[in-house]
Amino acid sequence: MNKKHTTLGEFIIDNQKHFKYSSGELSRLINSIRLAAKIVNHEVNKAGLVDILGAAGETNIQGEDQQKLDIYANEVFKSALINREIVCGIASEEEEDFVTVQGKYNAHDNKYIVLIDPLDGSSNIDVNVSVGTIFSIYRRKTPLGMPVRKEDFLQKGNEQVAAGYIVYGTSTMLVYTAGHGVNGFTLNPAIGSFYLSHPDMKFPETGNIFSINEGNYAHFPQGVKDYIKYCQTEEEDRPYTFRYIGSMVSDFHRNMIKGGIYIYPASFKAPKGKLRLLYECNPIAFLTEQAGGKATDGFKRIMDIQPTELHERVPIFCGSKKMVEKAEYFMHKYPKNE
Q: Is the pTM of this model over 0.85?
A: yes
Position 128 scores a pLDDT of 75
Percent helix, strand and coil across the chain, each to the nearest 5: 35, 25, 40
> SS3 letters for 120-165?
ECHHHHHHCCCEEEEEEEEECCCCCCCCCCHHHHCCCHHHCCEEEE
Position 279 scores a pLDDT of 97
Domain ranges of the chain: 3-198, 209-331
Position 70 scores a pLDDT of 84
CATH fold of 3-198, please?
A: Fructose-1,6-Bisphosphatase; Chain A, domain 1 (3.30.540)
Residue ranges for the binding site? 93, 117, 119-123, 213, 244, 274, 280
Cα 23 to Cα 20, 26, 27, 271, distances in angstroms: 9, 8, 9, 43
Position 236 scores a pLDDT of 84
CB 26 within 8 A of CB 180: no
Q: How far apart are CA 213 and CA 244, in angstroms?
A: 7
CB 73 within 8 A of CB 53: no
Residue ranges for the binding site for Mg(2+)? 93, 117, 119-120, 280
* Phi-psi sector, 134: left (phi>0), alpha (psi -120 to 50), beta: beta
Position 50 scores a pLDDT of 47
Calculated CA dihedral for residues 63, 64, 66, 70, nearest 10 degrees: -110
Residue ranges for the binding site for substrate? 120-123, 213, 244, 274
Q: Does the CA dihedral 137-143-144-145 come out positive or negative?
A: negative
Q: Which CATH class is domain 209-331?
A: alpha beta
Mean pLDDT in each 10-residue stretch from start to end of the chain (338 residues)? 75 75 77 93 70 49 64 93 89 93 71 94 77 96 92 98 94 95 94 94 97 95 97 93 94 97 95 96 98 97 98 97 98 77
Strands 112-120 and 87-92, by their bridges, are parallel
Q: Tell me how many degrees the CA angle 43-287-78 measures, rounded to the nearest 5.
A: 35
Nearest-Å Rg of the Cα atoms of the chain is: 19
Q: How far apart are CA 310 and CA 331, in angstroms?
A: 27
